[in-house]
Amino acid sequence: MATVFVPKILAEWALGDIDVINDIPADIGADISGAINFLMLGTDERQAGPDSDSLLRSDTIVLVHIPASRDQVYMISFPRDLRVTIPAAPDSGFTGGIEKINAAFAFGARDSDGRRDTSSNGRKKGAELAMRTISDIVKDTGGLKFSGWATINFEGFDKVVEELGSVKMCFDQDVWSIHYWPDGTPADGSMYNWSNNHGGENPKTGFHYPAGECWDMAPWQALDYSRQRVGLPNTDYDRQRHQQQLLKAIVAKVASSEVLTNLGTVSRLQQAAADMLVLNLGNNKVEDWVWTMRNLRSDDITMIKTYGGQFNGEEFNGIWYEGLAPSLVELLQAVQNDTVFNFLANHQDWVAADTAVAP
């Protein structure tokens, strides 16, 4: 009894005011008795208020796979421009078609008139369409099943880092911000506009994150660094890697004794998470999630860069996409079969070097 009761009390306290849903359609849902697939969808809502006509796209799409052995956590980032077939979503007024994968959440998170829906129900519909889109990539072998999902407003990450005080990261390449000047003041879009007018170049006049250095990142720095892609050699792939690194750095800091033993910090983290998260635990009890993941640590996280972090572009109907290559299908089939370790043994260049979290 105690082994269940204690995790339940801790989990309910930790989740607090976080918007938690327990509902994944049966045809794409799975329990957590075996391997776990959890979808993380990151949105950046600073440029679009609640009355905006723009759709709520998820430029960060991370599939978290935990083997049945519970000895690893694999983080797989999808290129936001990946060309996929998005199935129809009648409740959201979407009839289906070939689109970039970051549009799946956007077309799902709409009302029946096609307007963006930022409510919990809208995010639920968006996440479901994103899950169905990914599942359909391997539908010939049965489709992918999911045990849970979360939508994360990336603007909220700076609040989490603020409560943590900082996160320590090392820079694996030179990165110049297009959002902040060297003194840390906001650039108000001027560098972004310059980049658009110069073929996507980075003016390299913004705040600089030097390769090889390790910093205790302030909240705005952590978020800014993880958002950059303009001027990076592998553009969105480099941004994917940096976002994975930030997630891992946050996990490492949250799991540290200095945080876990400070009830005031934990309480404030709870509120910060409530402002940025919508969480779906599927049809699984919260205490079962806590219990099944009790032995996992940040060191168990392996970050996977699709296509080895290299752009795999193709043109379709006059639009440039990231191509859906057989190797990515093979990776998702390995997720299906819980054989990701074997896949990575044959695709070692897909493992992202973990240079960003300082010792």
User: Region 157-165: what's the mean pLDDT?
Assistant: 81
| pLDDT score recorded for residue 354 | 62
Q: Domain map of the chain by residue range?
A: 2-155+263-350
- Give per-residue pLDDT as tens, 260-302: 667 677 677 767 766 677 888 887 777 777 778 878 888 888 9
User: Region 313-335: what's the mean pLDDT?
Assistant: 89
Confidence of residue 359 (pLDDT cuts 50, 70, 90): very low
Q: Are 246 and 180 in contact (CB under 8 A)?
A: no
What's the half-sphere exposure (Cβ side, CA atoms, 13 Å) at 114?
4
How many whole angstroms separate alpha carbon 307 and alpha carbon 140?
21
| pLDDT score recorded for residue 50 | 46
Confidence of residue 18 (pLDDT cuts 50, 70, 90): low
| pLDDT score recorded for residue 6 | 39
Most confidently modeled range among 18-22, 29-33, 299-303: 29-33
- Give per-residue pLDDT as tens, 126-153: 999 999 999 999 999 999 999 999 888 8
Is the confidence at residue 49, as pLDDT, over 80? no
Confidence of residue 17 (pLDDT cuts 50, 70, 90): low
Is the confidence at residue 309, as pLDDT, over 80? no
User: Region 42-71: what's the mean pLDDT?
Assistant: 76
Is the confidence at residue 33, as pLDDT, over 50? yes
68 versus 288: the higher-pLDDT residue is 68
Domain 2-155+263-350: assigned CATH number: 3.30.420.590
CB atoms within 10 A of CB 27: 9
How far is CA 254 from each of CA 96, 163, 268, 270, 317, rounded to the nearest angstrom?
A: 40, 10, 12, 11, 46
User: 176-210 in b/e burial notation, b at 16+ Cβ within 10 A?
Assistant: bbbbbeeeeeebeeebeebbeeeeeebbeebbebe
